[in-house]
Each structure stands twice: as C-alpha cells, then as structure tokens.
Amino acid sequence: MVVEARHRLAPLVEPRSIAIIGASAREGSHGNAILKTIREGGFTGPLYAVNPNYDDVGGIPCYPTIGDVPETVDLAVLVVANHRVEEQLNALIAAGVPAMTLFSSSYLEDDVDPPLLERLRHLCADSGLIGCGSNCMGFYNFDFDLSICPFNVGGGAGPGPITYITHSGSAFSSLLNLGERFRVNMAISAGQEIATTVADYLDYALDLPTTRVAALFLETIREPEKFRAALEKAQARDIPVVAIKVGRSEASVGFALSHSGAIVGSDEAFQALCDQYGVIRVSSLDDLVATSGLLALPNRAGPGGVASILDSGGERSMLADLADDLQIPFARINEETTAILADNLEFGLDPVNPCDAWGTLKDFETTFPNVFDALVKDPDAGLGLWLADIRTGTILTDTFIKGCRATAQTSGKPVVLGTWVARQRYDSIADDLMSDNVLVIDGIETALRAVRGAFDYRDFRALPAPRPPAPPASGIVDRWRARLSQGNALSEAEGLKLLADFGVPALAVETAEDRDSAVAAAEAMGYPVVLKTAVDGIHHKSDVGGVKLGLADSDAVAVAYDDLAQRLGPQVLVAPMAARGVEMVLGITRDDQFGPLVIVGAGGVLVEVMADARAALPPIDSAGARRLIDKLRVRRLLDGVRGDAPANIDAVAEAAARLSVLAATLGDCIGELDVNPLIARPDGCVAVDALVVGRAP
C-alpha cells in the first residue's frame, strides 16, 4: 500500500531501510527482541545491525557505528542505555539519518543543566530529526508490515480501521490484543515526544485510506496549533476522533483575578477544543475501545434514536434509567413497525421500543430476529442495540447472533450486540460477528456510552457552519487594541463601553469625583440608581462593601457617596438600577495552550461556588452559545421558576456570541474579562458590571 504523497513522517513509519543501534545476539535482550519483532512483522527492506561487538547478528551484517553502514537508512532504532543516547543521536544526525525510535527513558542520575531530555529535544529540533520516543514502546504500522516494538505486544492488533495514538505505554499494550473489535492500521506509543508529537502522527494517519477512526490517549498537547490543524483535517475528512485526556485540574488558574478565570481550568479548555472539532471525549479505556469500534463500523448512526430488543422486563427498566442519565433517545416507532411487532410477539408483550421479546420462548428463533429487524428499520431508528448475555454454544445465543447479522447486512445502520455484564467467555463470537459488521460491547453502561458518542458525532456533523457576528469597524478595534495593550485594568466605565462597542448590551454609566457630581448624574438618569466605588485596584467591589443598590432619591445618593468616599475613595460610578432577573456570567480567559476562551455560566455572588460554566474557543455564533447555555445547571432558572417569566435566552446567546467576537478580535491583548452579572430578563439582557484586564504584547 502506498500513500498518495509521501508524508514527512514516512522515513519513520514507512521506512525503506532500518538500522538497529544496539542490536544483540543475546536471547532475551531488547536488542535481540526488536530484531525479531521487525522480522516477524513482515518488513522486507534492507536491515542492518550496529554494535561494535558483533560482525553478524541473527544473520544480518553488523557494523561498529551507524557511520559504517553502507547506505543512509531511513530509520535508526536505538536500543541503548541512557548514558549512550546523546552520542548515538549525534552520530546518526551526522550520518544523515532522518528518523529514529528511542525506547530509553532519557533520564540520568547525575545529570547536568540542561538535563539530557532537553538536550535531546534541542538536538532533534536543530537537526530536523523526526522520531518516536523517548521513553516509549515503539509503534506498529500494519499497512506497511512494520513492527517496531521490543515486546511484540501487538501481534493480534491489525490490520484494521482504527489508528491508536497514546502517551501511555501501558495503555499502548493494553489495547493491542483485543481481537477483531479493536483492529488498528497503526498504533503509536508516543512517549515523551522529543521530536514528533501526537499532532504529527494524527496528521499522517488521516492520509491513510484505511483510517476510519482515530483513538487517542493524551496526557498533554505539546503543539496546540498543529494539533488543532490535525483536528480540522479530521473534521474535513469526516474521520471521527475519540480521545481520553487525563489530568483534569484547575491549578493553572488559581491566581486569576476574574471569576471567569477562577471557574474554568485547562481541562475546560481542552473540552472547548473537543466541542469545536467534534472530538468524542471518553474517560476510560473500555469506552475508548467501544466508542472507537462503533464509529469504525461501515455504517454510521442515522437520524433518530436507539432501536433496542432485550429479553427481560426488569433489565428494560434499568436500560431506560441508564439511557435517561446519558440523554439517549429511543426511536419513536411508527404504526407500521408497531404492527409488525404485534404480529410477532406473544400475547401480553408490548409492541414498543425498547422491546422485551421474552415470553414462553415459543417460536423465539423467528420472533427475536423479526422484531429486531423491524425496530432497526423503522425510519426513526438511528442504530440497533441488541442486549443480552451471550454464551458460546447455546441455541438462544445462536439465534441472537443470526438476528444481529441479518439486520446489520440489510438495514444500512450500525448494529451493536451489548451484554448486560462484562464477560470473558465469548471472544470467538465477538470476532466472528465483526466479520459481519456487528460490534459486541461488554457491559450495558459501556455500550450506552458508545451509543452516546456515536450520536454526538452524528449530531456534530449535522450542525450548520457557524456564522458569528461581524466585528465592529476597524477604527473601533484599533482604539481598543491600543488601550488594552497598555496591560493594566480598565475602569468599569471603560469596560462597559468596550462591551457596548462590540454589541454586548451594557448599562450606560457616569463617573463622579464628588458628591454633587454623583447626585447630578443620578438626577439625569432617573431613580433608582446604583453607586459603586471606582477606585483603581478594587476588582470585586461587593467584597469590600463598595456597591450601594436601589438608591431612590438625591438624599440617598448623597449618604451613599459619603460612605464610599470615606472608606474607599472619592471616585464612584453611577448607574441605573437594573431590573431583577437571572444573574449570568460572561467572560474571557486565557489558556496557556489554546489562547482566549469565551465563558458563559451562572453568575452573581455564588459564581465561584457553583462553578457552573462552559467554555468555547472563539468565535462562536448564537446557536453555538445556545448549546453552551443548554448544558448549564442554571438553564432551568432561565425558563422561569415560581411564577417568574422566562428569560430571553436568545438575547443571552447573542450577547455571548458577540463577546466571543471580542475574544477572537482582541483576545491577544486581553488578560481577563469578566461580566458579572449579566442580568437576563424577559425583555433581553444587560451587563451591569465589567472587569477587564489588558495584556501587554
């Protein structure tokens, strides 16, 4: 098999020649094991050994150094101790070798500064050397009969439609002997990524005609822009990406001034990335296998819900509960399907979906397949889920298998045979069914999470292209860029004006330096009004008693001003008293890897306690903002409770979309931005407070 254009990773993952540095004739050594693995994998190109202690290793010529090898090989596989890695890397760079694989950990006990790992990174960057590792378990490229792994953990892993890329060596070996349900075209143990990252491998895999799904186990993203580009490529080619990302933490934002920074951490930034590119995020290896396997089937989930057959009334109730937890809909079957079910089911069984088809087992060999086939072929069925505990060599299981096969072949929809509990005694059944595009998933919850992932990917693909609002005129953008680039905090009045210039509804306010000016401003705008301290450096005014609400006349304004001036300073802000509504928060914060994020969440005094917020990579449109809002716990309040009229959710979504344009346009010169609260009411929404911190270039 040949990729249409030779990818820059080709010397690494589809080399024409290989040298093993540290090859050994000693049985049981890594230098001997890697030679056997390469041979057993089917590699037929020139193969050389490099070791000054041998003239021949396993029947192949052995040379003292890489420079003595009679040709410049594509790939050097280093099987050497940590203290020899640096010299060997320099040697292969000098020899012009373009790619390497390095298993060593690259840590030295008595190292110098910079440490070995950083020195190796610089060597690779300066020379252009590409490579897998260090501290990795190697890789397999079954499309090119290539096995570079000293432990040969992937003998039963390919070839197949899934590309598997992982930072974890143990997770690499865990999934490479699962039989037909997780067959891979390529599996990469990326290790410490001193030269080549997950983004590079993913970009390569997306060019392989055999790649239907990419499955990732991630500890970090070392090249964010390249990773985003790879996800965009996957999206353009309709190749689903399923990912585990470990290390969820808010520690990176512990010192943020704004509420938005305090409630959104680096994990939320990664989730925002997943949301933008349709990455299906899972939390366990079981879910990674099941979801990748389902998305790798030739047929994708269609419109509608799950069509399910089972053999238990009690377990049907459990299925309904678990599906509800995951917000998985069941297909709403039509009258024609209902009639077919009624004709096949025994008396007393309901012709509904999900369908309990267990009666007295009269004619079960035709009843179960006929009912399942009708359910899955209903126009509102997106996929078929047959739930049963299966056992090798039983008539009942044989019937279930035949029913799944027949429907998978004729329905044009994915078919899953899910078990109620995880078992270890039906591997042969699972492997045989995969040949007919029926996926067996162990355990009901794992099966349902895979279904949820398939539906999520289907729904993402159905979304229209986003159409965010247009930014303001260039002159307005340039003026605010100059102001924000000073790197200090804006006054609240400036912050509200910034919002208004980008189309976010904001209160019109006045500043005052003395009592008479404060009273005059209040008289001009009409009562009731709010007085707030405007002294520089006070970011959360309510925390220091710096906000006076509901001032109904000039006397109240005068008394409030005197108190604020005495305690906090003479500068105040006068604003109209906003009508009551649901308090939301909008914000912009920065992620070290992915840049500006726009935030929407529950606001008010409990913003950090509730931590009810969602993040998105800007810009987004109002439909995208609405999807964020719909995922919030505060969402129910917006519909109106205890007699309150519903808030205008469309107005909140539009405000969030316009703030996202601000983030996309000026995010590089914004350190933090916090709108708390944004008051949502039936007639719209309005920002009543704004904290904006600029960011110097």
| Full DSSP string of 55-80 | SEETTEEEESSGGGSSS--SEEEE--
Q: What is the pTM of this model?
A: 0.91
- What is the CATH code for 582-694? 3.30.470.20
Residue ranges of the chain assigned to CATH 3.40.50.261: 298-461
| Contact indicator for 490, 498 with CB cutoff of 8 Å | yes
Residue ranges of the chain assigned to CATH 3.40.50.720: 10-293
Q: What is the pLDDT of residue 249?
A: 55
How would CATH label the architecture of 508-576?
2-Layer Sandwich (3.30)
Domain 10-293 has CATH 3.30.1510.10: no
Q: Cα dist. 353→227, 324, 342 in Å?
A: 41, 14, 12
Backbone angles phi, psi at 114, to 5 degrees: -75, 155
Question: Exposed e or buried b for every residue in 303-314, given b needs 16+ CB within 10 A?
Answer: ebbbbbbbbbee
- Positions in the chain whose pLDDT score sits under 50: 1-3, 251-265
As a whole number of angstroms, the distance between CA 36 and CA 81 comes to 20
Q: What is the pLDDT of residue 380?
A: 98
Sign of the four-CA dihedral 679, 685, 691, 695 = positive
Q: What is the pLDDT of residue 260?
A: 38
Q: What is the pLDDT of residue 424?
A: 58
As a whole number of angstroms, the distance between CA 274 and CA 264 comes to 15
Q: What is the pLDDT of residue 264?
A: 44
Nearest Cα to 184, choosing from 101, 288, 33, 100?
Answer: 288
Conformation bin of residue 429: beta by default, left when phi > 0, alpha when psi is -120 to 50: alpha
Q: What is the pLDDT of residue 97?
A: 98
As a whole number of angstroms, the distance between CA 151 and CA 132 comes to 16
Residue 652: half-sphere exposure toward Cβ, Cα within 13 Å? 34
H-type helices in 27-182, by residue range?
Answer: 30-41, 82-94, 116-127, 169-174
Q: Cα dist. 579→495, 595, 652, 683 in Å?
A: 20, 35, 15, 10
As a whole number of angstroms, the distance between CA 478 and CA 121 comes to 39
Q: What is the pLDDT of residue 252?
A: 36
Residue ranges of the chain assigned to CATH 3.30.1490.20: 508-576
H or E element in which residue 510 lies: strand 510-512
Q: What is the pLDDT of residue 247?
A: 80
Q: Residue 406 contacts by C-beta under 8 Å, 6 or more apart in sequence?
A: 369, 373
Domain 298-461 has CATH 3.40.50.2300: no
Radius of gyration of the chain (CA): 31
| Contact indicator for 101, 139 with CB cutoff of 8 Å | yes
Q: What is the pLDDT of residue 275?
A: 97
Strand partners, 588: 598, 673
